[in-house]
Amino acid sequence: MPELVFFSGTMDCGKSTLALQIGHNRSARGLQGVIFTRDDRAGEGKLSSRLGLVTDAVEAAPGMDLYGYLVEQMSHGAKVDYVIVDEAQFLAPEQIDQLARIVDDLDLDVFAFGITTDFRTKLFPGSQRLIELADRVETLQVEAMCWCGARATHNARTLAGEMVVEGEQVVVGDVAGSAAEVGYEVLCRRHHRRRMTSAAAHAGALSPDVLPVTSA
């Protein structure tokens, strides 16, 4: 039976790489798919991974009817065997409903990839709707790591190297840009709570995590 599967995880856990791998495996078997994405780091209409892999995709713009797009393509003779959606957290809840309709009415597998929570640890509306509707929710097993070496569980937004907890939910940034620009970093819960990014941790001579020691 076709399924709506949501692959979730923090940044740097290989979501886009797995999306590309799924597409490659199916195309190698003669299957043809449609790839949707939103606000990819490589630019509009691209699906890319941090490993340097990139492929063309359909930009799922705000207000776009994803179900209607596929019906139109198929009615004009396009062969569609599956659907991949990257950066699914950026989709509107109604677009997630359309993905479920693609599975139920068109009998196509839909593989959605995205971050579950934002830099404030709040659910993205698209991710929340995926959790509500998906046949399966899969947490990626490749663990991103906090600067301290612990498993990273939270996404942090930085400005000039300092963590910020207010602002628009969606601001496109990078993980390797100038320190003066908006950036993102993955942190463990402890350091997200303490707002301690890698830049902040390296600013002091002593780590705040070191227990205080008093001389006898």
21 is in an annotated binding site: no
The catalytic residue among 59, 72, 87, 138 is 87
Residue 73 assigned ligand-binding role: no
89 is in an annotated binding site: yes
Place of tokens 């449609």: 34
The answer to whether 211 and 179 are in contact (CB under 8 A) is no
Rounded-to-integer distance, Cα 156 and Cα 144, Å: 13
> Is 33 annotated to bind ligand?
no
95 is in an annotated binding site: no
Coil, helix or strand for 136?
strand
81 annotated ligand-binding residue = no
Q: Is 10 annotated as a binding residue?
A: yes
Q: Is 181 a catalytic residue?
A: no
**Is 86 known as a binding-site position?**
yes
Residue 15 assigned ligand-binding role:
yes
What's the rounded Cα separation, in Å, for the pair 120 and 155?
A: 8
DSSP line for 37-65: ESS-TT-TTEEE-TTS-EEE-EE--TT--
Q: For residues 60 and 66, give the distance between their C-alpha atoms in angstroms, rounded to a whole number.
A: 7
Residue 148 labeled ligand binder = no
Residue 14 assigned ligand-binding role? yes
**Both tokens of residue 130?**
């995926």
Place of tokens 């959790």: 131
Of 68, 85, 167, 66, the C-alpha closest to 127 is: 85
Give the angle 106-108-109 at the CA atoms, nearest 5°.
150
**204: phi then psi, degrees, rounded to nearest 5:** -100, 155
Annotated binding site for ATP: 9-16, 86-89
Binding residue positions: 9-16, 86-89
Q: Which residues are catalytic?
A: 87
